[in-house]
């Protein structure tokens, strides 16, 4: 059932985003008087189609619902015959301005769609980790992390990263994540004033995302106990609070995780508080190859909050998220092209399908939220001046405008498109490889 949900949600979500993209091209083509031969929802063999009386356009539903396409007369002059290219309604015979508007309309529609989706997310209400919308107060600092080495302390309030104001934990996490290996100027507020540090996030795990070793506050309360693990054998129960390990006070969940991880096979004395009473329990963390250290088998608390807003606040919050999505996507693109961010940090089709399935299982708001983010990504990526993409068409049209209406030769455009296809296929192969590696722990 999980696999079915993943496949269906991925196909439907991606199909909607690509359909909206193609709808933009279609509407602007019609407005410019271009003859649109076919508007298809999906690819492959035709399942159903009709042509309204007196219309040049055939509307089609095709077998593979992965988006759609618009076929315009004169869109590919090198492939069309003389009759098509001489038609005044042919795409190639329209002004540079009209062709540019048609090319840009797809990405623009993808950028506009989230302004509708995101307010709906908050009107419906979305479950999110409670800490994400809280002020970025440091609850615990990993002693082995870059933040500890720089001097960051528990209780610090992060106010700025590289001069950018940080008001919520989710912004801090995202900014650190996209800056592996790049020094970040961190400003924190303490009782004695502001302190500034330069910290370089280290790439972590199979994703390669940046990590400096800071965590939001998280109470050391047991949310669940896994059967067959040392904690269960020692009698720990859901709701127990771990107040000390080997006599050292514990006030954050990560202290439990850190102590267990570093002491596989070594008995540890845990002080537990239950129903107002304290007692000690000796627990020996069990070696776990997948975790790379010891585990005792307790589950961390998952403190989530339903964020449901009225219309005005939903629009304000939703549109703010869209602006942030745009900023984040642009930052990632710049860092990718400057080689500051490895390709393995990206999610390809496999990871997108996996995350889409997970979002769909949680609820419609989570799926709409993800679609909003993906739509922004799709819109911006399609505006990049690379052959095959809409941005590549806009680039050639800009050259044509600068040359006072003299287009780039068909031969050069064909060569550029071939190079673009090779690069795009190569890119997809690489990110898909990393997707599979992440899923299988590589």
Residues annotated as catalytic are 22
Q: What is the DSSP letter of 221?
A: B
What Cα–Cα distance (Å) separates residue 206 from each residue in 29, 347, 438? Answer: 44, 12, 6
Q: DSSP per residue over 133-195, as a string?
A: GS--B--EE-TTSHHHHHT--TTPEEEEETTEE--SHHHHHHHHHT-TTS-EEEEEEETTEEE
Q: Which of 119, 26, 31, 102 is nearest to 68 (CA)?
A: 26
Angle (nearest 5°) at CA 350 between 388 and 391: 20
* Entry field: residues in the chain: 442
What Cα–Cα distance (Å) separates residue 328 from each residue in 45, 234, 318, 376, 427? Answer: 38, 46, 15, 10, 20
Burial tier of 45 (Cβ tally within 10 Å: 0-12, 13-18, 19+): exposed
Q: Which of 242, 245, 345, 231 is nearest to 301 (CA)?
A: 242
- Side-chain half-sphere of 302: how many Cα atoms within 13 Å? 6
69-106 b/e (C-beta count within 10 Å ≥ 16 → b):
bbebbbbbbeebeeebbebebbbbbbebebbbbbbbbb
CA-CA distance, 243 to 253, in Å (whole number)? 10
Which two tokens mark 251?
Answer: 């006030």
Q: Which residues pair with 87 in a beta bridge?
A: none
């Amino acid at each position: 059932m999980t696999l079915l949900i993943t496949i269906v949600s991925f196909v439907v979500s991606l199909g909607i985003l690509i359909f909206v993209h193609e709808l933009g091209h279609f509407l602007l083509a019609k407005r410019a008087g271009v003859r649109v031969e076919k508007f298809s929802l999906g690819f492959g063999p035709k399942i159903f189609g009709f042509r309204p009386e007196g219309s040049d356009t055939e509307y089609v539903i095709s077998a593979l619902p992965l988006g759609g396409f618009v076929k315009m007369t004169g869109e590919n002059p090198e492939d069309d015959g003389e009759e098509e290219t001489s038609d005044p309604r042919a795409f190639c015979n329209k002004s540079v301005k009209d062709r540019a508007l048609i090319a840009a309309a797809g990405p623009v529609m993808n950028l506009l769609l989230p302004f509708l989706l995101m307010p709906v997310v908050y009107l419906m209400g979305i479950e999110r980790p409670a800490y994400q919308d809280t002020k970025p107060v440091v609850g615990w600092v990993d002693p082995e992390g870059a933040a500890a080495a720089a001097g960051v302390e528990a209780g610090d309030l992060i106010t700025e990263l590289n001069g950018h104001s940080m008001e919520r934990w989710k912004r801090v996490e995202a900014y650190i994540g996209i800056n592996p290996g790049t020094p970040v100027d961190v400003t924190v507020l303490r009782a004695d004033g502001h302190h500034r540090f330069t910290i370089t996030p280290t790439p972590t795990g199979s994703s390669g995302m940046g990590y400096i070793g800071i965590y939001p506050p998280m109470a050391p309360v047991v949310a669940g106990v896994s059967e067959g693990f040392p904690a269960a054998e020692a009698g720990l129960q859901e709701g127990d609070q771990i107040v000390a390990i080997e006599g050292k006070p514990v006030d954050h969940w990560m202290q439990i995780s850190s102590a267990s991880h570093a002491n596989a096979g070594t008995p540890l004395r845990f002080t537990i508080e239950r129903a107002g009473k304290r007692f000690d329990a000796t627990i020996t963390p069990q070696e776990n190859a997948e975790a790379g250290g010891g585990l005792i088998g307790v589950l961390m608390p998952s403190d989530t909050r339903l964020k449901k807003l009225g219309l005005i606040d939903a629009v304000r919050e939703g549109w703010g998220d869209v602006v942030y999505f745009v900023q984040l996507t642009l930052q990632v693109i710049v860092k990718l092209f400057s080689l500051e961010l490895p390709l393995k940090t990206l999610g390809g089709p496999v990871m997108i399908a996996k995350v889409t399935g997970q979002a769909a299982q949680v609820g419609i708001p989570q799926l709409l939220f993800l679609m909003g983010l993906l739509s922004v990504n799709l819109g911006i990526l399609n505006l990049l001046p690379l052959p095959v993409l809409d941005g590549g068409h806009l680039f050639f049209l800009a050259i044509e405008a600068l040359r006072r209406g003299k287009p780039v030769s068909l031969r050069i455009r064909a060569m550029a498109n071939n190079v673009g296809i090779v690069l795009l296929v190569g890119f997809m192969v690489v990110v898909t490889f990393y997707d599979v590696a992440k899923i299988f722990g590589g």
